[in-house]
Structure 1
Amino acid sequence: MTRKPLILDVDGTLLRTDMLFETFWSAMGRAPIDTLRVAAGNLSDRARLKAELAALADCRVDLMPVDENVRDMAQQAAEQGHEVILASASDESLVTALAAHHGLSGRVFASDGVNNLKGEAKADALVEAFGERGFHYAGNDASDVAVWTKADDVIMVGDQPAARAALEDEGHAVTQLPGGWSWASLIKAMRPHQYVKNVLLLLPIIAAHNFGLSAFLPVLLAIVSFSAAASCIYLVNDLLDIDADRLHPTKRKRPFASGALPVKTGMFAVLGLAAVALGVAALLNAAFLGVVVLYMILSLAYSLKLKRMRWVDIATLAALYTIRVVAGAAAAQVYVTGYMLVFIFPVFVTLGCVKRLTELTLATSDDRLPGRGYGRPDRSDLLNVAGLGMFGALMVFFLYTFTEQARSLYPTQWLLWVAMLPIGGWLFRMVSLGYKGKQDYDPIVFAMRDRHGISLILFALTLMFYAAGLFQNAFGF
């Protein structure tokens, strides 16, 4: 007796992702202008939109995360003699490639550039091919109800209580498999641990010795705005880097790359976070809003293009950190000296080199890093540039000690020269640990957890505060 075929939906069922959104972000990474043009011009024609995005994109279906429960069920069905067929609203070029990769039936049902095979259209196509109740169907979406009602056995990925009850009332045998996503995955993708970088917004008021609430409270709001902006860009960066992350030894566990968080959910989160970042910035002042907009534009340019350009990526990273200092000054409406900015920039050039050194040292092969322009032969050049950054930062700091502003803020000048020792020691430690691969992939996050490094930074700050007479004024010594 011929067994009824098992029909598998793809997006959210066999795959823990959605091919339409995967193709959009893959195409954005390759040709952003063309992608936006295609998306805007075909919003009302989903079949054509999917076909054109698939043509623009370079998606690796072999890397897309699979739902293990669905895969195991399909394998058992195949062993029992069932034909396992993919039926998806995604473009047929991708669905065919996916079926071939997983060794499934070469007969697929998919959108073809003219017809969008979703909901009723998919149900009609399957009934025409196999007859009503002539197939079993696994799906996960509300649009799959139209197909489930025409199927025999129903496999439901995720919890849809109302649909399940209605199907069982109609006499369908319903098997439910776990599915869905968690808020924990979204929070992880937002990387709140990276918010520690926004302590840089406090530097202008610390350097100006302005510790009043009138300066401190606006900076706290500014940190909220920058944190939302940073999370927004992290999500965009991860969406653009999905394939590269899936090839990375540790980044493949990120929520989008692993399929723990749907791409569509991430896109809604991007819009929400952008609204928070710009809304809070607008509440502060126009100058700070302008800095936030600049930060987001430069961050987006980095994600789309600049991070793939050797040395330009490091300069951009340093600029993004420096912008945080400018943002703190704009929020608190305090003056930030050119010396501070010129000092900060080479410090972050050094840390940008440390980031790449760490990645190259921890890489498992001599190939260029996925999505980056560096390979292991570049380690010596990165080390040299890091050394130049260290020297440049310390030289600028030294020259600053002779300015009129430095003399007025720091009467005990020689203590500033002593403070250069722990600053230089901290920079040397960061470079050394990065070169040896003993760091996290993000040097700033590592620095906030490194007890020895924190001790050096606190020692330098103590010397600077003492040079400024702050301890004497506060404690009378």
Structure 2
Amino acid sequence: MTDLRESQAVVLRKPVGRSLFRLSRPQQWHKAMMLLAAPAAAGVIDQAVPVLRACVAAVAFIMLSIAIYAVNDVRDAPDDRRHPGKQHRPVAAYALSPAVALAWGFATAVAGLAIAAVLGVPTFLLGLGYLAAQLAYVYGLKHIAVVDVVLVALGFVLRAAAGGTAAGVPVSNWFLLVSLFGALFLVAGKRRAEQASTVSDARSRPVLAAYPAAWLDQLVTVALLGTSLSYGLWAFQYLGDDVIRQLLAVSFLPFLTGLLRYGLLVSTGRGELPEYEIFRDRVLLVAGATWAALLAMGLYA
């Protein structure tokens, strides 16, 4: 027991700043790019003020997500220590005390809400809703089958909506549906890969045992269909002005190709880390680049 305490004390002497940075998950900050989706779809990504406001909102949501990571790591530390990958998280590895982690989480939550409040009441309320939903997830809802998947997907939808309110652009229902089904598609693929992985520890995500593989496959299919149909209806019935509608319509083809390709990767057991899988597959890269080019020309040419 003495040796264990001494080893923990030694580890805790590591630089706190570095541990707080690792706790903040910088590799996940790219998710805040979702806040630029609404201004881009509305055709104002080339205007300085809306983009600046959306970027400020992205910073706010990064701060809020850091608060969630801090609380999550403190609560899950005992289980993380039994996981081959998560055992290296700062709190689980005794590189950061729970008190310091929670203080950091509180500070970033206050900072995130304060920044969101500067952008207006709607953005503040969306930020507050995001924080409340994710805290509910951490404090128990992540152990309830289906609810956990919906809450994770909801986080992406709230980010997308906040980007629109911050930039002052209208957010169409089709855009929100694309965000929702797209997020469900990624989350379902992630759960499917985690369930099939020999590295995943059931104790770190007990809810996986409640999901039959066949049901997750069905969810992937439903989410894929929902994403493609919602995007197709948005692209073919775009209500804005000064756009090349034919290019928006054609952009549906590479968009669908990317979805189908990623669905194929998920069916082979990949998808646990979507942010890496997307950039590892050449077909996905080509489809994504083609889609982005067509969309940009259709909206801004």
TM-score normalised per structure 1: 0.58
CA distance in 2, matches of 1:292, 1:266: 21
With a CA cutoff of 8 Å and minimum separation of 6, indicate the structure with the bigger relative contact order: 2
CA contact (8 A) 2:236 2:248 kept: no
Give the counterpart letter for 1:209 in structure 2: G
* Structure 1 stretches lacking a partner, 5+ long: 1-6, 17-65, 68-156, 159-177, 472-477
CA contact (8 A) 1:361 1:436 kept: no
Partner in structure 1 of residue 181 of structure 2: 346
Partner in structure 2 of residue 61 of structure 1: none
What RMSD, in angstroms, separates the aligned Cα atoms of the two structures?
A: 2.4
CA contact (8 A) 2:270 2:277 kept: no
Identity of counterpart residues, as a percentage?
Answer: 25
Matches within 5 A, 1:285-324: 285-324=120-159
1:395 aligned residue (214, 229, 247): 229
**Larger relative helix fraction:** 2
Offset at residue 264 of structure 1 (A): 1.5
Partner in structure 1 of residue 257 of structure 2: 425
CA contact (8 A) 2:53 2:167 kept: yes
CA distance in 1, matches of 2:13, 2:72: 23
Give the counterpart letter for 1:279 in structure 2: A
Offset at residue 274 of structure 1 (A): 1.1
Give the counterpart letter for 2:262 in structure 1: M
Give the counterpart letter for 1:462 in structure 2: A
CA distance in 1, matches of 2:210, 2:133: 27
CA deviations 1:351-410 (Å, max 9, x no partner) are 010111121121358x8453331239722221221111111111122222443606x454
Find out whether 1:14 has 2:29 as its counterpart.
no
CA distance in 1, matches of 2:211, 2:149: 17
Partner in structure 1 of residue 13 of structure 2: 180
Partner in structure 2 of residue 97 of structure 1: none
Partner in structure 1 of residue 95 of structure 2: 260
Give SS of 2:92's match: helix
Find out whether 1:466 has 2:300 as its counterpart.
no
1:380 aligned residue (214, 233, 250): 214
CA deviations 1:124-166 (Å, max 9, x no partner) are xxxxxxxxxxxxxxxxxxxxxxxxxxxxxxxxx56xxxxxxxx
The count of residues paired between Structure 1 and Structure 2 equals: 298
CA distance in 2, matches of 1:434, 1:186: 33
CA distance in 1, matches of 2:171, 2:83: 40
Poorly superposed stretches of 4+, deviation over 4 Å: none
The 3 A distance-change label for structure 1 pair 385 and 458 is same
Give SS of 1:256's match: coil
Offset at residue 447 of structure 1 (A): 5.3
Offset at residue 342 of structure 1 (A): 1.1
Partner in structure 2 of residue 411 of structure 1: 244
**Larger relative strand fraction:** 1
CA distance in 2, matches of 1:404, 1:191: 36
CA distance in 2, matches of 1:371, 1:200: 26
CA deviations 1:313-363 (Å, max 9, x no partner) are 111111110111101011111111011001211111110101111211213
Give SS of 1:257's match: coil
CA distance in 1, matches of 2:250, 2:258: 14
Give SS of 2:68's match: helix
The 3 A distance-change label for structure 1 pair 404 and 416 is closer
Q: Which of the two has higher C-alpha Rg? A: 1
Matches within 5 A, 1:53-68: 67=8
